[in-house]
A = this chain, B = another copy of it.
Amino acid sequence: MTLILGIDPGSRITGYGVVRAGARGCEYVASGCIRTGNGALPERLQAVFRGIREVIETYGPVTVGIEQVFMARNADSALKLGQARGVAMVAAAEAGLEIAEYTATQVKQAVVGTGAADKQQVRMMVMHLLGLVQKPQIDASDALAIALCHAHTRASLIPHGLSAAKRRGGRLRL
């Protein structure tokens, strides 16, 4: 069982989602949003830094998936997004966590099966895969999708030889 944190960074709202990945798939642990408020920029960035640190201290994930951004609308929004993303990433790195980056297309592909899915479709599949009854907030849903994508990618990276040995009851354990 591996606790996985997904982070969807944003200049106003940073979503987070924690899932427990095991042999039978993923279970929901927690999700939510860090809202940065209307204060001065240093305070808003501290809210992201401390928020991610608190999530890590509370749930104890061992690995993190974070959205990789290729296309920002413009240089100004890219700068603002970059500031929040850098701060979220350094909070995870300072906690000693392994960090993987995924593009939005990779996340959609892993969760919905098509890179062209919209946020609502992603949320529906996240709810279905994790058996959620209540709709998570949209940034929290994106973060859960990133966590699921990371869980899926990690699982598929397990060498086939080792998996086979494990299935046959061999001595190799991952």
- Chain A residues at the B interface, C-beta cutoff of 8 Å: 40-43, 45-46, 48-49, 69-87, 89-90, 92-94, 99, 101
A49, A69, A80, A99 interface centre (most CB from chain B within 10 Å): A49
Contact yes or no, A45 B75, CB < 8 A: no
Chain B residues near A73 (CB, 8 Å)? 75
Contact yes or no, B82 A71, CB < 8 A: no
Chain B residues near A72 (CB, 8 Å)? 75, 78-79
Counting every copy of the chain, the complex holds 2
Q: Is the interface of A mostly helix, strand, loop or mixed?
A: helix
**A84 nearest in chain B by CB position:** B86
Cβ 8 A contact of A79, one of B40, B79, B87, B101: B79
Known: A46-B90, A81-B82, A82-B86. 13 other contacts (CB 8 A): A41-B99, A42-B93, A45-B90, A46-B93, A69-B79, A70-B76, A72-B78, A76-B78, A78-B78, A79-B85, A84-B86, A85-B86, A86-B87
Q: A42-B99, A71-B75, A74-B75 are in contact. Are A49 and B90 (CB under 8 A)?
A: yes
**A93 nearest in chain B by CB position:** B42
A42, A48, A80, A90 interface centre (most CB from chain B within 10 Å): A90
5 nearest A-B residue pairs (beta carbon): A82-B82, A83-B86, A78-B78, A42-B93, A79-B82
27 A-B residue pairings within 8 Å (CB atoms): A41-B99, A42-B90, A42-B99, A45-B86, A45-B93, A46-B90, A48-B90, A49-B90, A49-B94, A69-B79, A71-B75, A72-B75, A72-B78, A75-B75, A75-B77, A76-B78, A78-B78, A79-B85, A80-B82, A81-B82, A82-B82, A82-B85, A83-B83, A83-B85, A83-B86, A84-B86, A87-B90
